[in-house]
Amino acid sequence: MIPADETFDGTWPFEPHFSTAAGFRQHYVDEGPRDGEVVICLHGEPTWGYLYRNFIPSLAEHYRVIVPDHMGFGKSETPQDRVYTLKTHVENLEKLIADLDLQNITFVCQDWGGPITGAYTIRHPERVKRLFLMNTLFGYGGATPPEEKTPWFQWIEKHEEAGTLGGIVGELGSTALSVMKIVGFQNTAAVTDTWIRAYSAPFPDRDSCIGAIEFPLDVHYARFQEFVIDGLQTGNLDRVKAVPASLVYGMEDRAIAPEWAMADFRLLFPDAPVVQLPGVGHFCQEDAPETLVAMIQQFIQANP
């Protein structure tokens, strides 16, 4: 867990806020006008809210921007007695949103932020106004996954079966950049000593890496599937389909196959825009921040 007042040489100048609604100390950024429309930006693996540092200032000029760190990431606590699964991350988000009484939410999400948003939205469609997805799989489209795993999940499978996964991902304090390159990171010009320190800081030891270790295992062992399917029991799928949505995809993604994710999205939102970004990787927020911020602003304005 990163110290609350750490700014990483001024690159993360946002006031820290904390909620204990989910039973642990969860950090979030809360910038912009209190009465502005709510934009929640969700990160994934193995990042934290720092991924959105180039989004927050522009979006916060007009919107109330909330950027939480999931349990086990960023400035949030990493309790050792908790279960780290899609289900628990969604439950944590539910409690945070209820604690802050957020309504009419525009979700901006990438990587695990997508499945978390999907599982939240199908359970609480009354709180969700728009969905802006980036390099992620929202779920519920029903597209058939490719037979061959992506390089990231091939790597996960290899090391989990060899018994070496925990030893490698458990050293993210020194391997964060290498892991992000496996997943799909293109903009090496962004990498500075400060950048490396910011993405390494949440993981000073093996215990602090539990969230990062468990996220890919949720896929490897298909632990997430029952919770996703349970969401259909709400009967809210048609309400989800009616939510304005957009998907932007960096085509150099090595974690989630672009063609599969785009097909799944189109089955759920057949009339929604899908934009492909050539030369952009899985961590599109690092590779094309200005482009994405402009797209988010246009999307919100086009769907009042």
Tell me the pLDDT tens digit for each residue of 141-165. 999 989 899 999 999 999 999 999 9
17 vs 177: which has the higher pLDDT: 17
- In this prediction, residues 60-69 reach a mean pLDDT of 99
Residue 286 has pLDDT above 90, yes or no: yes
pLDDT of residue 167: 86
Among the residue ranges 24-38, 139-153, 281-295, the one predicted with the least confidence is 139-153
Residues of the chain with pLDDT > 70, as a percent, come to 100
Tell me the pLDDT band of 22, cut-offs 50, 70 and 90.
very high
Tell me the pLDDT band of 125, cut-offs 50, 70 and 90.
very high
Residues of the chain with pLDDT > 90, as a percent, come to 90
Residue 36 has pLDDT above 90, yes or no: yes
Which letter, b or e, does each residue of 201-229 get, where b requires 16 or more Cβ atoms within 10 Å of its Cβ?
A: bbbeeeebbbbbbbbbbbbeeeebeebbe
pLDDT of residue 272: 98
Among the residue ranges 67-81, 166-180, 283-297, the one predicted with the least confidence is 166-180
Q: Name the class of domain 16-302.
A: alpha beta
Domain ranges in the chain are 16-302
174 vs 128: which has the higher pLDDT: 128
pLDDT of residue 177: 86
pLDDT of residue 1: 80
pLDDT tens readout for residues 176-229: 888 898 888 888 888 999 999 999 999 999 999 999 999 999 999 999 999 999
pLDDT of residue 49: 99
pLDDT of residue 175: 87
Tell me the pLDDT band of 296, cut-offs 50, 70 and 90.
very high
- In this prediction, residues 28-38 reach a mean pLDDT of 98
pLDDT tens readout for residues 235-277: 999 999 999 999 999 999 999 999 999 999 999 999 999 999 9
- In this prediction, residues 79-90 reach a mean pLDDT of 97
Tell me the pLDDT band of 48, cut-offs 50, 70 and 90.
very high
Residue found by looking up tokens 């060899």 in the block: 162
pLDDT of residue 168: 87
- In this prediction, residues 60-88 reach a mean pLDDT of 98
